[in-house]
Copies of this chain bind each other. A is one copy, B any other.
Amino acid sequence: MSNSREEEWSNSTLDLFLDLGIGSRPGLRARIEEGLRDAIREGRLRAGARLPATRALARDLNVSRGTVVQAYAQLAAEGWIAGRRGSATAVVFDGEQGGGRPSLREPGAVRWRFDLRPGRPDASSFPRAEWLRALRRALVLAPDDVLGYGSAQGQLALRNELAGYLARARGLRVRADSLLVSTGFTQSLGLIARALEASGAASVAMEEPSMPLHRAIVRSCGLRLRPLGVDAEGLRVRELERWPAVDAVVLTPNRQHPTGVTLSPRRRSRLLGWARAHGSIVVEDDYDGEFRYEGHPIGPLQSLDPASVVYAGTVSKTLAPGLRLGWLALPERLRQAVVREKERADWQSGALEQLALAELLRSGAYDRHIRRMRLRYRRRRDLLLDALRSALPGVELAGTAAGLNLLVRLRDATLEAEILAAASSAGIGLEGLVAGGYYERSGPAGIIVGYAAVPEHCFRVAAEALVTLLARFLGRARSASA
């Protein structure tokens, strides 16, 4: 892990320099300085981030080492960075206060010292240079009609690549024909809900706990919501029998969000049996299935019954939520209705980003990025688990085998609220099961800790800050008691 900072350099900022052609034009020293100043000013390089060794950067940029040394010296003189003999040069100025050229950062948004909220990948690891390369290739190769009004179902080039990827990497039984390109799970859920409603569906079952936005989406499409409990085997499928008629079930079988439970094989076959018997639809939200660190990966429900299951995937956890790209694998009986809803929703997803993602899949860059991030997130999880278990021996954790977050179970909602308040004062972003609105009615309290969003170089400090905070509340007693 010692060179993780430099690894990150070579993956993003450095490649952007290369893309800017910094290696082959005049004014190199000034441009290196400017690039670094901007990166610090805008928060892409934060205080403590180590810069690459001058020799290494000179080699990568194909400039003389003297040029880099001079650039570093200038920035040190200006107070942005500092180097000591025998240790790496590092950023000392924490951006944003510096003024200068206007920042693109949204003001008003809460700025956490450590953002440990769930559901967010490490944005600082987004492969900017590779995405730019893919966009460029799309812009160069795309015939003009790609820029016009295109297929609501999505660019065929992307659906072809996705079909191959999903079969290979996720075990789906899928063809390009049955895929629809959406802008992420938020849209995907709305499209399905509307298509179901238009075809006469009246009620949809959802997990309890689950994301409040997802419940609001289903309700706003005019469907009645039926909450189903979750236990150690996942969704309590038997509770479906409580309700008179349920037209669809929306669930996260690979890793129940936010409890982290995987739906057991027994429950899987029972759920699919129920769906077939009732002609109902199962919506499988596979939001972060790419990240599993322990145990055998469990195939998607979709592979067991492609005629009953709608499978939903996204790049929001693998690449970045800001891209707004996702997909649905649809049973034939729903395909046309969902495509029509997509057309009514926004006609089609953005064409160039679709082609860029197709290129990332084609070139293998998407797979490589996921492998890299899986290793990185796994190391973070290990570090966090070790720290939590050694400082808080009685703490009850869940959902640690996979994904980008884990759950700290708590005795009650009061304790949850106290911890959230203290975290907020300390600048630590967290979510609570109760406070976050995950329950329709009520349920056990807990803190959901996302360990992916914090940039790599400050993850260790963030984990320590979290453990220190939790120890104030959970240090002596068990975290959850019956």
Contact = CB atoms under 8 A, between A and B. Distances in A.
Contacts of A347: 183-184, 186-187, 321, 324
A98 to B, nearest CB: 13
A172 interface: no
Nearest to A194: B220
Interface string A132-152: 100110111111111111110
B105 A146 contact: yes
B350 A353 contact: yes
A107 B160 CA distance: 12
Contacts of A144: 43-44, 123-124, 126, 455
Interface stretch (A225-233, A338-346, A469-477): A338-346
Contacts of A109: 145, 150-151
Interface stretch (A16-24, A400-408, A414-422): A16-24
The 4 A-B residue pairs with the shortest CB-CB distance, nearest first, are A322-B351, A147-B320, A123-B144, A147-B322
A375 interface: no
A24 B149 CA distance: 36
A393 interface: no
B147 A345 contact: no
A286 interface: no
Nearest to A220: B344
B346 A183 contact: yes
Given A186-B344, A344-B190, A123 B145 contact: yes
Nearest to A316: B149
A241 interface: no
Interface of A: 16, 19-21, 24, 38, 42-44, 102-109, 119-120, 123-124, 126, 128, 131-132, 135-136, 138-151, 155-157, 182-184, 186-187, 190, 194, 198, 213, 216-217, 220, 222, 320-324, 343-353, 355, 453, 455
A44 B139 CA distance: 11
Given A105-B145, A106-B150, A353-B353, 13 more contacts: A104-B143, A128-B139, A131-B139, A147-B320, A150-B322, A183-B346, A186-B344, A186-B346, A198-B220, A217-B344, A321-B347, A324-B346, A352-B353
Contacts of A187: 345-347
A359 to B, nearest CB: 10
Contacts of A182: 346
A123 B455 CA distance: 40
Contacts of A146: 104-106, 123, 322
A183 B325 CA distance: 13
B352 A322 contact: yes
A21 to B, nearest CB: 7
10 contacts: A44-B143, A104-B141, A123-B146, A132-B135, A132-B136, A132-B139, A183-B183, A198-B220, A321-B347, A346-B346
A192 B457 CA distance: 43
Contacts of A216: 344
B143 A343 contact: no
A299 B56 CA distance: 58
Nearest to A129: B139
A403 B378 CA distance: 56
A41 B17 CA distance: 33
A138 B217 CA distance: 31
A107 B157 CA distance: 10
Nearest to A222: B222
B350 A183 contact: yes
Nearest to A217: B344
Contact of A126 (B105, B147, B198): B147
A193 to B, nearest CB: 10
A135 to B, nearest CB: 6
Contacts of A21: 21
Contacts of A132: 135-136, 139
Contact of A143 (B105, B139, B349, B353): B105
Contacts of A149: 119-120, 321-322
B156 A107 contact: yes
Indicate the member of A44, A149, A184 with the most B CB atoms within 10 Å: A149
